[in-house]
Amino acid sequence: MPENKGLVLVVEDERHIADLQRRYLSREGFGVHVESDGSAALASARRMRPVAIVLDIALPGMDGVEVCRRLREEGDWTPVLFVTARDEVTDRIVGLELGADDYLTKPFSPHELLARIKSVLRRTAGPPQDPVRRVGRLTLDSGRRTLHVDDSPVELTTTEFNLLAFLLRHPGQVFSRDQLLAQVWGQAGYRDTRVIDVYVSQLRSKLGDASPIRTVRGVGYSASEAGR
């Protein structure tokens, strides 16, 4: 039997898709709990504290967008991977703005689902040996995965935290959007690199004038060594 890697909550109302996800995740060593509607999913997420949530957007009753919104409002930052049959850029951006950590568009390969979940969980764990970094008014602790501006804690999604931590580990170095997708996401499979702009915008909104991220026009982004 593979090592137990924690519980994944699968929220999917199409039974054959849910069964396929359960089978592949179980083979990989994950426990799996399946819900088919949003209200039950929200209750299970609160009760079971899964390591990750695979969340279909189109659900009966409460949809996946609202489930994610409520979890984030409650301060639950469990990694969420949105699944949607829609392939519009706006749908993906809405999911990211709500705090989703990744997304998949149907139809997708179960192997890709596994790869994405593993990638999200690696980013969640982070490198425990990283030191506390102080840049300007920011104090980022990669071991505890906490961020403070001055003495006030700031809540970040998994991907927001990892993007900021990566830039702070390479102060002054400029990265293209493709490089950030490869380094932070672990792949460069997105067809639209504007997802990077969404995350940078969210970070700047949360950090205000303490944000160290600067735009290098025509190239990408970097973090100032001394903050702003």
- Its CATH class, for the domain covering 132-223, is mainly alpha
pLDDT tens, residue by residue, 31-81: 899 999 999 999 999 888 898 999 998 899 898 989 999 999 998 989 999
172-178: long-range contacts at Cβ-Cβ below 8 A with a sequence spacing of 24 or more? 172/222, 172/223, 172/224, 172/225, 173/222, 174/216, 174/219, 174/220, 174/221, 174/222, 175/220, 175/221, 175/222, 176/219, 176/220, 177/220, 177/221
How confident is residue 188, by pLDDT bands cut at 50, 70 and 90? very low
Confidence at residue 186, expressed as pLDDT on a 0 to 100 scale: 54
Confidence at residue 45, expressed as pLDDT on a 0 to 100 scale: 92
Q: Sign of dihedral through CA atoms 206, 217, 214, 196?
A: positive
- Its CATH class, for the domain covering 7-125, is alpha beta
Domain ranges of the chain: 7-125, 132-223
Asked whether residue 5 carries a pLDDT value surpassing 80, the answer given is: no
Helix (H), strand (E), coil (C) string for 117-169: HHHHHHHHHCCCCCCEEEECCEEEECCCCEEEECCEECCCCHHHHHHHHHHHH
Q: b/e for 73-108, b at 16 or more Cβ within 10 A? A: eeebbbbbbbbbeeeeeebbbbbbebbbbbbbeeee
Q: Are 38 and 59 spatial neighbours (Cβ–Cβ below 8 Å)?
A: yes
pLDDT tens, residue by residue, 162-173: 899 989 988 999
**The sheet that has 7-11: what strands, in order across it?**
31-35, 7-11, 52-56, 80-84, 102-105
